[in-house]
């Protein structure tokens, strides 16, 4: 499957078939990772908001595929990615799953 401009192989629900009408990629927010991109205009997302929760920080990120939430460690809120930061989004395909759209 293709997501965030890259090819991935992930597990799928039995009703998801190749060439089917579509599927949702499910990635738990705490298993995705963000990294700031230093070249302007690159990356697959932009940080819209960050919310500090003590042990975690939730990031709302706008991507070409829609808005996603990524949960990162909240060790120091001063180290949080700022709003407007261009980011790369990555995840472990072994911890992702395709679900049917219905």
Q: Kindly report the three-state secondary structure assignment for every residue of 70-102.
A: EEEECCCHHHCCCCCCEEEEEECHHHEEEEECC
- Residues 86-97, mean pLDDT to the nearest whole number: 91
pLDDT per residue as tens digits for the range 48-88: 999 999 899 999 999 988 999 999 998 788 889 999 999 99
Tell whether domain 2-100 is in CATH 2.40.50.140. Answer: yes
Instruction: Please say if the pLDDT value at position 89 is more than 80.
Output: yes
- Residues 32-56, mean pLDDT to the nearest whole number: 87
- Strand 66-73 with 2-3, pairing: unpaired
Give 30: exposed, middle or buried? Use CB within 10 Å, 0-12, 13-18, 19+: middle
The pLDDT of residue 56 is 93
The pLDDT of residue 83 is 95
Enumerate the domain spans of the chain: 2-100
User: What does pTM read for this prediction?
Assistant: 0.81
């Amino acid at each position: 499957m293709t997501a965030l401009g890259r090819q991935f192989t992930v597990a799928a629900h039995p009703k998801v078939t190749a060439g089917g009408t579509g599927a949702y990629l499910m990635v738990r927010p705490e298993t995705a990772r963000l990294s700031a991109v230093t070249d302007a205009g690159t990356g697959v997302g932009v940080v819209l908001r960050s919310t500090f929760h003590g042990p975690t920080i939730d990031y709302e990120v706008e991507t070409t595929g829609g808005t996603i939430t990524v949960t990162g460690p909240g060790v120091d809120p001063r180290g949080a990615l700022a709003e407007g930061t261009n980011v790369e989004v990555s995840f472990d395909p072994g911890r992702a799953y395709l679900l049917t759209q219905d």
